A = this chain, B = another copy of it.
């Protein structure tokens, strides 16, 4: 019981951290009907600033690191990304009132990664003084892209099997064009093999992954130390607190949307982040004992798995699974999945790592 009471004390302390405090503050403020809002261009710029900073840190770290070290964690990230989507395919999709395509898209989004959640975890690890490999943030695309690819492939296989009629095909096209999205050679046509590369490319071209990879490249190839120390690093925590506020407000606003789809989405969105995190924590421990992956790195792997994409994932899924209902997957991720990952998942995995470090 000592572990539990220690954990609860740590948990309550972490809720007072600015990161989680602003998240919860945002949820309360929005649910009280406040007209407070952070303008969208500022929100987008904050996300850019955080991801390019995470990338710069990683890029500079990779310069001095052994590339072999990253292999096993990266492989595990790929495996977890694919696994999460299969879990969703054979749990969420089997539940009553859940449309198969909606379920697969939701699972894809929960397999994909949230840069904001990752940034929050990095900050909390630093506050708690838990060391981690600075390149650990670079695991992001290794889980994100396989999850999205798997979701789109599974959805395409399902659609092919169902032997859609011409009418259905047409209505789907219509839906897609109403959303102003072109499918760009995506797996809409029957009896055609799903092309992987366009999905990967679409993911990489998304604003979140682009910013992260640009940061990685600049950190690796240029000398960004002067701007990193004077600008990107000092602003990181403050901008993160603003982002948490926005995410809290967004979560409260999306809750209404979520109420309009099957309640099973809310159940999945609550359970899945924690479960995915524990699975990844287990994989991470294997790397910990075999290759010396730090416990901080294990936490990051768990958080990446627990997080669900809020920026880069949705557009890729809209284009890749045009028949899925965005309200279902975006609502589940933003209103429940992300707050659960942030306010329960991160403190949980950090607490677990601290308990293991103490032992």
Which A residues form the contact surface with B (CB < 8 A)?
A: 15-18, 21-22, 25, 29, 32-42, 44-45, 48, 127, 201, 204-207, 210-211, 214, 217-218, 221-224, 226-228, 230-232, 234-235, 237-239, 241, 245, 315
Contact = CB atoms under 8 A, between A and B. Distances in A.
Given A36-B211, A211-B36, A223 B44 contact: no
A253 to B, nearest CB: 14
Contact of A39 (B22, B45, B214, B230): B45
Nearest to A45: B42
B48 A38 contact: yes
B40 A39 contact: yes
Contacts of A37: 44, 207
30 contacts: A15-B222, A18-B227, A21-B218, A21-B222, A25-B222, A29-B210, A33-B201, A33-B205, A34-B204, A34-B205, A34-B206, A34-B210, A35-B315, A36-B207, A36-B210, A36-B211, A38-B44, A38-B48, A39-B41, A39-B44, A40-B41, A41-B41, A42-B44, A42-B45, A214-B245, A226-B237, A227-B237, A230-B234, A231-B235, A232-B238
A-B pairs with lowest CB-CB distance, top 4: A231-B238, A39-B41, A21-B222, A36-B210
A15 B231 CA distance: 20
B44 A214 contact: no
B223 A29 contact: no
A14 to B, nearest CB: 10
Given A227-B241, A235-B231, A205 B18 contact: no
A231 B222 contact: no
A48 B207 CA distance: 25
Which interface residue of A201, A217, A218 has the most chain B CB atoms within 10 A?
Answer: A218
Given A36-B214, A38-B45, A42-B42, A18 B207 contact: no
Contact of A221 (B16, B39, B214, B237): B16
B39 A224 contact: no
Contacts of A238: 227, 230-232, 235
Contacts of A33: 201, 205
A76 to B, nearest CB: 27
Contact of A224 (B21, B127, B201, B239): B21
A29 B214 contact: yes
A222 B36 contact: no
A280 to B, nearest CB: 27
Contacts of A218: 18, 21-22, 25
Contacts of A204: 34
Nearest to A240: B227
A253 B224 CA distance: 25
Contacts of A226: 18, 127, 237
A3 B228 CA distance: 32
A211 B201 CA distance: 40
Contacts of A232: 238
Contacts of A29: 210, 214
Nearest to A224: B18
